[in-house]
Structure 1
């Protein structure tokens, strides 16, 4: 799996961090998403998909 983010779309809601904390984090100064693991293990796929569903800005993509 390969995860990508579009930082310019991110609104800093933080839902991705709650759904997949080993894959996503947020910058302290503005809350914009930080991708911690571009190629997380397959057992994190459900968490990543949940983060995608919860993202209000549609800033997360995954290729499986």
Structure 2
């Protein structure tokens, strides 16, 4: 992962998935954890922290009755 990434052209949609699986197999669990944390920070920088939503169930009689 230290080298510069190259543009890869795939002939089918399964190609990117296979490349990702190969990269994950080559990584140690610690490296995968670091990548996860980096992606999480990137996601929060784009969309902001997750908002807490109040969850309630409201049961009302239908208007047609």
TM-score normalized by the length of structure 1: 0.27
Comparing both structures, which one devotes a greater share of its residues to strand? 1
Which is higher, the Rg of structure 1 or of structure 2? 2
Comparing both structures, which one devotes a greater share of its residues to helix? 2
TM-score normalized by the length of structure 2: 0.27
Identify the structure with bigger relative contact order (alpha carbons < 8 Å, sequence gap 6+). Answer: 1
